[in-house]
Amino acid sequence: MNLLLKNIIIIDSNSSWANKGVDLHIKNGVIQRVGYSLEAQGADVIEEPGLHCSLGWFDMNAHIGEPGFEQRENFESFVTAASYGGFTEVAVLPNLNPITQSRSSVQALKSNNTVSQVTIHPIGAVTENCVGKDLAELLDLHQAGAVAFSDGDRSIQTADTLIKALNYLSLTGSLLINRSEDSKMALGGQMHEGLASTRLGLKGIPSLAEDSQVIRDLQILEYAPGRLHFSQISTASAVEAIRNGKKKGLAISCDVASYQCAFIDASIVPFDSNYKVSPPFRGEEDRLAILEGLADGTIDALVSAHTPLETEAKQLEFDDAHPGIINSQTSFSIANETLSGKLTIQQLIYKLTYGPRIILQLPVPSFEEGSIANLTLFHPDKEWEFNQSNNASLSNNSPFLGKKLKGLVYGTIHNNRFSKNPAYVVA
């Protein structure tokens, strides 16, 4: 690799080059020089008006598919979609077959990291088979390289299991990630419980199913040691409870799926299973609370919650369809559009770069000369259409297919590889 990026606008609130248009010379995967009017013999030149550059984006919540669900997503399609979406690193959930609960399963997920354009960070299971009972081999998984621990889509239902997990994980300083939802209260629910669900005749999932678990988890953290991360929060009360928990000094953090900023229960296309997600799209009050939580720092990170599903699992009656959408390629664009006027581009990119890495206590890349290049190139104002021709995923479950979006990734630079997004067409 020998690249010369010309007049690139640096988006990094902690860099001395922030918001400046500079040149970057990158050779053999290392930032050689940063400055103005640079020249580099034999380098491929990238010069595109309005092109921005940030540290490589990090997605801390996604389903990889392989192993076990290769018909939904395999390793190659997953890293391609992630890279086209601007992500250079992704933490993947343990809900695979086999579940990520052994040293070998962690090592298998990490096996291609030195040669792939996207680094995979395995999240290990908290409990055996992610069923919320006996703890998995947490120490062994930590030593193998698991960056955090979670039962993924499944919430830890019993308080004693959560307490034991926090105690064990505190021995290594590891993070526990939990989806807060009372499974009995949510049982059979298809969408948010409200006027829209009543009109459509669908069983609703009340906000209380999430709120009660968030409050319980916060109370447990006041009793037990450890670090706790709330995954994919969706309600106004959850945002407020976490905000208050942070004021108390609790070791907590949280994220939200970018698509939660785009829809509410009343705006989804009725009975279109592509709008069925978990947690569901809530009311406008909840959406506005999420935007406020992102702006004031209560919500630490934005995630894709990328969930590929084959046609047989998604194109069904709404009641029978599995929840989830593919979102690796569209995550930034959705956030960029819906958060415009609420967050600056610097604040938005912080939620994709520093936020996840600080939560997971992983190294943050740098723009300094001599640093390994881990970068994302993007144009926040460029429009594009997400369609079948540029969808890199093996799955098609997305309400954004065929839609025009604002904010487009040009490409990523990571592991001495430049990966260009084919959806980006130079004007």
DSSP state of 306: B
Residue 32 to residue 128: CA distance in whole angstroms: 46
Residue 6 to residue 335: CA distance in whole angstroms: 27
Residue 309 to residue 315: CA distance in whole angstroms: 9
Q: Does CATH number 3.20.20.140 belong to domain 56-360?
A: yes
- 2-53+368-420 folds as Urease, subunit C; domain 1 (2.30.40)
What local confidence, expressed as pLDDT, does residue 393 receive? Answer: 98
Residue 242 to residue 26: CA distance in whole angstroms: 41
> In 10 A of CB 40, how many CB atoms?
17
Q: What is the CA radius of gyration of the chain?
A: 21
Of 215, 291, 294, the C-alpha closest to 248 is 215
Is residue 7 helix, strand or coil?
strand
List the beta strands (DSSP E) in 263-326: 301-303
Every domain of the chain and the residues it spans: 2-53+368-420, 56-360
What local confidence, expressed as pLDDT, does residue 427 receive? Answer: 57
Residue 392 to residue 386: CA distance in whole angstroms: 10
Q: Classify the phi-psi angles of 353: left when phi > 0, otherwise alpha if psi is within -120 to 50, otherwise beta.
A: alpha
Per-residue CA distances from 389 to 3, 118, 287, 317, 402 (Å): 28, 22, 31, 27, 10
Of 335, 414, 425, the C-alpha closest to 376 is 414
**pTM of structure:** 0.97
Query: Can you count the helices (H) and strands (E) in the chain?
Result: 13, 18
Q: To which H or E segment does residue 165 belong?
A: helix 159-170
List all residues 6 or more positions away from 180 whose beta carbon is below 8 Å from its beta carbon. 155, 210, 213, 214, 217, 230, 231, 233, 238
What local confidence, expressed as pLDDT, does residue 97 receive? Answer: 97
What local confidence, expressed as pLDDT, does residue 402 receive? Answer: 96
Residue 55 · residue 12 · CB < 8 Å: yes
pLDDT along the chain (427 residues), means of 10: 97 92 97 96 95 98 97 98 98 98 97 95 98 97 98 96 97 97 97 97 98 98 97 98 98 98 96 97 98 98 98 96 98 97 97 98 96 98 96 98 97 97 85
Residue 209 · residue 286 · CB < 8 Å: no
Residue 286 to residue 230: CA distance in whole angstroms: 16
